[in-house]
Structure 1
Amino acid sequence: MPLILVLDQGTHASRASIFTENGLLVEQAKEDIRLSRISHEEIEQAPDEILNSMVSTINRLDSHNLSHTKNCAIVTQRSTVVAWHADTGKSLSPAISWQDRRAATCLHSYKSQAKNIKSITGLPLSAHYGAGKILWLLENSQSVRRALSENKLLIGPLASFLLFNLIKERPYLVDHCNAHRMMLLDLHTLDWSAELTRLMGIPGNLLPECKPVQWHYGHLKICNLAVNVVSGDQNAALYCRGQPQRGDVLINLGSGAFLLSCVDQIIPSTDLLCGIASSNKKGQEYLLEGTVNGAGSALGWAQEYFPVEDLFSQLPTWLRQIKSPPVFINTVGGLGSPWWKTATTPCFIQHGKITAESRYVAIIESIVFLIQHNLDHFKKHIDLKTLTISGGLSQLDHLCQRLSNLSSLPVTRFEDKEATARGAAWLAAGCPDSWTLNKQDITFLPEPDPSL
């Protein structure tokens, strides 16, 4: 049976996974990567480390499996921006993380255009997205400005940098999902907006060419596999169980918490995001999306200031025992939807001494409440029926149960942790009707919970 390779580049790790055409995970290799928090606003990674980690994971796969693999999907963290040299492919800048907000001041002058930007792109004016980061690099990086003056500058989403360096044809391309997070894509034409690139002074010919998610992007240098899917990590996760059902919201809990649901058309009037779930030569599928910036990253923030050993082995017990934790003002990474604001420093509110255990329970509850606030906005546009939850933090039973209790909806936990890779594999396999789940899902039903 032909196999499918998925390269999944996330915030904290790169993974190479091999699936069968009907969804069975055959093999996986993983390599951690570093995230540098220079300040509360500046968060970045090393592009060459990311690139090398992806090559390394491919090299660690069984050569027999690779020899029976027919194509490849590449999925990446979104809204992360890199500049690189057109001749060498070498990075000219750090990978400015999706969590980074250093470009906030660069965007101040566009506040009067925020409504127009939202109507064109489906995104709020925010430093989290790529346009501000491109502006910041053009203004502040000497190497970027030099390459621009020499007509040798390539700049765009991390996905485009990886495609240029991993694929032997060296394409300068980007998929619709990653292009969307640049805050420059016209959601109606699925191409760069001439109006917005002109407004922000970013030459349209400087950006990679936009292509559908399902497209022939070229062949991997390392094993000559055809790359036929490129997407954002959260967008791909939406397809982890095959074709999404209307009324189901996927909640993917990683460094951030991302809520996604497929919709039939662009929804212009919403405090959530409207974007592209997937696309091919025939058309596209739209999505509605909510963002909580402080999920796993909030626990990471707490570990810096209030470190505890073996956190994840202790969290289940603390969540079971502690019923009245302090209130945590979760502004880690800034407030995402529906507020879209840079906020004050995170803090705990409670009279008296706050224990380390209660701090972490408070953080988990803050994530649940922020998710619920987003769900309240989803209800304005779709008939919510079920919640499907995936990602590392979803393994906390008490988080899932609290979310079910608060939302009064069943929460089904996708037990296979590789939701992103599995969704990308489904797309690369041609969206088959039959799709194997490695493990049985677990469903949490609403219960009375006065403490919430």
Structure 2
Amino acid sequence: MTTAILTIDQGTTSSRAIIFDENFKPAFAAQQEYQQYYPARGWVEHDPEDIWETTVSVCQEALAAAREKGLKVVGIGLVNQRETTLVWEKKTGKPVYNAIVWQDRRTANACKALQQYEPWITEKTGLRMDPYFSATKIKWILDNVSGARGRAARGELAFGTVDSFLIWRLTGGKTHVTDTTNASRTNLFNLSTLQWDEELLALFNIPAAMMPEIRHCADDFGLTEQHILSESLPICGVAGDQQAALIGQGCFNKGETKTTFGTGSFALVNTGDRLTYSSHNLLTTVAYTLKEQTCYAIEGSIFVAGAAVQWLRDSMGMLSNAAESEAIASSVADDHGLVLVPAFTGLGAPYWSPQARGAIYGLTRSSTSAHVVRATLESVAYQTQDLVNSIKSDNIPVTCMKVDGGMVQNSWLCQYLADTLNVTVVRPEVMETTALGAAFLAGLQLGMRENLHDFATLNPTEAQFTSRIDETLRTQRKNRWNAAVQATLLMAKAEA
């Protein structure tokens, strides 16, 4: 039988399982969406049991398909939505509260109260004092769930991002671990020591006993219980979704850049083995750790990209499916006049305004739903332009951008990105590079390749897009976007 890897890709809106063959080509994929909960303004939650049940279901479906195709799965790679926070009972594995999603803004005031510590926190973690990250989410659960703080102090509760929670469940509670990429998104991880930081744990009043053990990205993360997936398989590659996409795009050299367009949008630049900090409100994070060697990255984070298209579909009824957006955007003239700022859960880099909320500017009696759809897609390109400008301001040249994620199946969007950024946009054959990156890590741990660079050529280019507009039009669009963002930020101050 031909060997294969199962990748668990646990995302913000769905759980997926993908089988990759020994040449790391996708052979089968299963996917299930699950419900999003919005219990209060700016709050976003998931039911942990939905995460678990959909993950197990798609894994079982994928493993059955692999057997039918004559593929022998020899290991598991796991990639996950980052920052999303879970706290559960060590004895039973039962969560004490819903998962608080990375988009959630409920701890904005708590972050504001700790703002004086931000330079110190950034030096240690590379991150901002923002609700995006896990630390204030953990603190909120401990402070607001009856009895949780006392139970945590007694060592009865465990914290984890989604990777830790799934590994705990898959191994029957035998393994409480995470990897350096996920740990680096918590505001509790020291980038220099690559360990949990005691001073940060004390600042956020989080007991060290809650924290998972930190391992490398290609490592031993335990064996799955046979009764769960009908097979006992080693979990041997783990990374947060954006770092996994960097790996799946083959960005192993300093200066190589990728942007993933999923629920949110995230640009990462490989900065090599030395810590590099941004002077323009971007984040420093772990790209990956392999064989005692850590590679770092500069990251720009956009909270709403594909989520805005989902909003058009689910809340506004302007689309029956996301794929329709390409034809609708193409039907609207360039000079439609609308600007949409999708700050539904605040603005991320480079603005970092958790109080900001979404807005549409330029509406007239002739505005239609088609104009709103096109403006929504345009907003993704404009937000990416903000990130690229910040990266360039940090003296990191960007002449080519590798793109991936579900949104880049839309060629109109890829072309608009190239026009807006004035760089070459490169789309790979396998666009689901988050899952592919986790498969690479598992394959490395299993000895299917000797080193990470052996994977660099396994995902060739499918299409390239270059700018078709002049600098005058590009500047006009940029100025209109900047004005809309400043108006949105002004409104956020009025609401504060």
Assess same fold via TM > 0.5.
Answer: yes
Deviates more, 1:435-444 or 1:256-265: 435-444
Alignment partner of 1:292 is 2:305 = no
After TM superposition, list the pairs within 5 Å mapping 1:246-285 onto structure 2: 246-264=254-272, 265-270=274-279, 271-285=281-295
Shift of 1:214: 1.4
* Secondary structure, counterpart of 2:360 in structure 1: strand
Alignment partner of 1:375 is 2:388 = yes
Deviations 1:328-377 (A, max 9, x none): 12312211011111133311111522211111111111111110011011
Q: Assess if the C-alpha contact under 8 Å between 2:312 and 2:319 holds in 1.
A: no
Alignment partner of 1:199 is 2:211 = no
Q: Tell me: CA distance 1:64–1:253, structure 2 relative to 1, closer, same or farther (3 Å).
A: closer
After TM superposition, list the pairs within 5 Å mapping 1:88-167 onto structure 2: 88-142=92-146, 144-145=148-149, 147-148=151-152, 150-167=154-171
Deviations 1:409-435 (A, max 9, x none): 110112423211111111211136256
Q: Tell me: CA distance 1:409–1:36, structure 2 relative to 1, closer, same or farther (3 Å).
A: same
After TM superposition, list the pairs within 5 Å mapping 1:188-337 onto structure 2: 188-221=192-225, 222=229, 223-264=231-272, 265-270=274-279, 271-303=281-313, 305-322=315-332, 323-325=334-336, 326-337=338-349
* Secondary structure, counterpart of 1:182 in structure 2: coil
* Secondary structure, counterpart of 2:163 in structure 1: helix
Partner of 1:407: 421
Alignment partner of 1:344 is 2:356 = yes
Q: Tell me: CA distance 1:104–1:304, structure 2 relative to 1, closer, same or farther (3 Å).
A: same
Deviates more, 1:122-131 or 1:426-435: 426-435
- Taking the aligned partners of 2:54 and 2:439, their CA distance within structure 1 comes to 20
Partner of 2:493: none
Alignment partner of 1:398 is 2:419 = no
Q: Assess if the C-alpha contact under 8 Å between 2:319 and 2:325 holds in 1.
A: no
After TM superposition, list the pairs within 5 Å mapping 1:429-444 onto structure 2: 429-430=443-444, 431=452, 433=454, 441-444=462-465
Q: Assess if the C-alpha contact under 8 Å between 1:389 and 1:411 holds in 2.
A: yes
Deviations 1:146-204 (A, max 9, x none): 53365311123122111111114621111111111111100111111111111222122
Alignment partner of 1:357 is 2:378 = no
Deviations 1:90-147 (A, max 9, x none): 1111011011111122223211001110110000110111001011001101152353
Q: Percent identity?
A: 29
Shift of 1:287: 0.9
Deviates more, 1:344-353 or 1:42-51: 344-353
Partner of 2:486: none
Q: Tell me: CA distance 1:159–1:434, structure 2 relative to 1, closer, same or farther (3 Å).
A: closer
The alignment's C-alpha RMSD in Å is 2.0
Q: Which runs of 4+ in 1 moved over 4 A?
A: 434-440
Deviations 1:35-75 (A, max 9, x none): 11223311000111111111111211244836722211111
Q: Tell me: CA distance 1:442–1:245, structure 2 relative to 1, closer, same or farther (3 Å).
A: farther
Shift of 1:242: 3.1
- Taking the aligned partners of 2:389 and 2:425, their CA distance within structure 1 comes to 16
Q: Tell me: CA distance 1:125–1:295, structure 2 relative to 1, closer, same or farther (3 Å).
A: same
- Taking the aligned partners of 1:74 and 1:281, their CA distance within structure 2 comes to 18
**Which residue identity does 1:145 align to in structure 2?**
R
Partner of 2:21: 20
Deviates more, 1:60-69 or 1:128-137: 60-69
Deviates more, 1:124-133 or 1:376-385: 376-385
* Secondary structure, counterpart of 2:54 in structure 1: helix
- Taking the aligned partners of 1:339 and 1:395, their CA distance within structure 2 comes to 28
Q: Assess if the C-alpha contact under 8 Å between 2:249 and 2:258 holds in 1.
A: no
Alignment partner of 1:171 is 2:184 = no
* Secondary structure, counterpart of 1:284 in structure 2: strand
- Taking the aligned partners of 2:364 and 2:173, their CA distance within structure 1 comes to 62
- Taking the aligned partners of 2:395 and 2:139, their CA distance within structure 1 comes to 34
**Stretches of structure 2 lacking an aligned partner (at least 5 in a row):** 445-451, 478-496
* Secondary structure, counterpart of 2:322 in structure 1: helix
Partner of 1:85: 89
**Which residue identity does 1:28 align to in structure 2?**
A
* Secondary structure, counterpart of 1:80 in structure 2: coil
Q: Tell me: CA distance 1:58–1:143, structure 2 relative to 1, closer, same or farther (3 Å).
A: farther
- Taking the aligned partners of 2:203 and 2:195, their CA distance within structure 1 comes to 16
Deviates more, 1:314-323 or 1:88-97: 314-323
* Secondary structure, counterpart of 1:238 in structure 2: helix
* Secondary structure, counterpart of 1:373 in structure 2: helix
Q: Assess if the C-alpha contact under 8 Å between 1:43 and 1:100 holds in 2.
A: yes
Partner of 1:386: 400
* Secondary structure, counterpart of 1:217 in structure 2: coil
Deviations 1:382-425 (A, max 9, x none): 22131111111112222111111122111011242321111111
Q: Assess if the C-alpha contact under 8 Å between 1:306 and 1:356 holds in 2.
A: no
- Taking the aligned partners of 1:42 and 1:122, their CA distance within structure 2 comes to 25
